[in-house]
Amino acid sequence: MFIIESYSVAVIFCLVTMVCWGSWANTQKLAAGNWRFELFYWDYVIGIVVLALLFALTLGSTGSNGRSFLADLQQASLGNIRSALVGGIIFNAANILLGAAISIAGMSVAFPVGIGLALVIGVVVNYLDQPVGQPTLLFAGVLLIIVAIGLNATAYRQASANHQGVSTNGLLLSIVSGALMGMFYKFVAQAMFPDFTHPVAGKLSPYSAVVCFSLGILASNLLFNTLLMYRPFVGPPVSYAHYLKGTVRNHSMGILGGIIWCVGMSFSIIASDKAGPAISYGLGQGATVVAAIWGIYVWKEFRGSPRSTQTLLQLMLVCYVVGLGLIIAAR
């Protein structure tokens, strides 16, 4: 299977993850004109599963390192497969809430608050599980991310002063999503052998782990998204009949969104060998910066807000960038 050989390449992979995780939601925004999030999400999950399998059957099945995908699955223990599946279930619950928060509050709020919180929790949880990196720099970076979350939440509340119900719902969904999102990566990392050049009996390769993770998302989506369709956070209920009426563009936007996200997930997992799970996950969740830039400067989600709000947003971006720099330096 394909693996990377150096920390510098691992950082590049993490930066690709950051861009992918911060950009997939643009496909949701592009499809949102006449296509509900609940319907979009079915295709998004399909895109994740397709890309995970494609990577496993190509990158995960070539080269002389590690174990090939099919051989790896055949020898994996049920406990490790279950761990990756649980990671997928937790992620799916978190991501559905994140998507709902994007629908209500926009990318420039849902990502900095929800994914920022996930970054903080994920770095701490993954570092305690596998303590890789200089803790002073790592947690100084995390502290700046916490400050950035507070700045973004304050800016959103200022901009939404006349729409308190929307503001509260958007922030609440983002917070709950972030609390769950910070937990999923640990389960996937625990299912894999830590040194990708030396397979361990019963453990999964990074490619097999991502496939099992994606199947956990798919299985749980039959429950989670069905409930969301009939009891949505915003708007009237939708049915499977509505999904079948979608256009090629509607469905392709969702599949593309899932593919973009899963490229990021796969690159993050591949990079975790050389970067360590805490740093790999933390850098990937720098997606908050990418998503905030999309939301603020491209989608104009804070158009017409007062100057003080714009100042808070600029400070938020600075804190995120500096915080991510410290996380990179922690290795």
Please state, for a pLDDT cut of 70, what percent of the chain lies above it: 97
pLDDT at 327: 87
Question: For 46-56, what is the mean pLDDT?
Answer: 98
Q: How far is CA 268 from the centre of its chain?
A: 10
- pLDDT mean across residues, the chain: 89
Higher pLDDT, 254 or 130: 254
Within the chain, strands assigned E span none
pLDDT tens digits for range 139-151: 999 899 888 888 8
pLDDT at 165: 45
Tokens of 148: 């950035």
Statement: residue 57 has pLDDT above 90? yes
pLDDT at 116: 81
Statement: residue 83 has pLDDT above 60? yes
Q: What pTM value is reported for the model?
A: 0.87
Angle, CA of 170, 173 and 177, to the nearest 5°: 140
pLDDT at 162: 47
Tokens of 109: 């709020």
> What pLDDT band is residue 41 in, cutting at 50, 70 and 90?
very high
pLDDT tens digits for range 100-150: 888 787 777 787 788 888 888 988 888 888 888 899 999 999 899 888 888
Question: For 237-245, what is the mean pLDDT?
Answer: 95
Write the burial class of residue 307 (CB in 10 Å: 0-12 exposed, 13-18 middle, 19+ buried).
Answer: exposed
Closest C-alpha to 280, from 43, 18, 92: 18
pLDDT at 166: 45
Q: What is the dihedral of CA 284, 288, 289, 294, to 10 degrees?
A: 120
Write the burial class of residue 63 (CB in 10 Å: 0-12 exposed, 13-18 middle, 19+ buried).
Answer: exposed
pLDDT at 102: 80
pLDDT at 161: 60
Question: For 45-62, what is the mean pLDDT?
Answer: 97
287: Cβ contacts below 8 Å, ≥ 6 apart: 17, 18, 19, 20, 21, 22, 23, 111, 115, 264
Tokens of 50: 């397709």
Statement: residue 163 has pLDDT above 80? no
Question: For 247-251, what is the mean pLDDT?
Answer: 93
Closest C-alpha to 270, from 182, 187, 188, 184: 188
pLDDT tens digits for range 269-299: 999 999 988 888 888 877 878 888 888 888 8
> What pLDDT band is residue 221 in, cutting at 50, 70 and 90?
very high
pLDDT at 328: 84
pLDDT tens digits for range 8-40: 999 999 999 999 998 998 998 888 677 998 999
- CA dist 118 and 110 (Å) reads 11
pLDDT tens digits for range 168-182: 777 788 889 999 999
Statement: residue 156 has pLDDT above 50? yes
pLDDT at 71: 95
3-state helix, strand, coil in the chain (%, to 5): 80, 0, 20
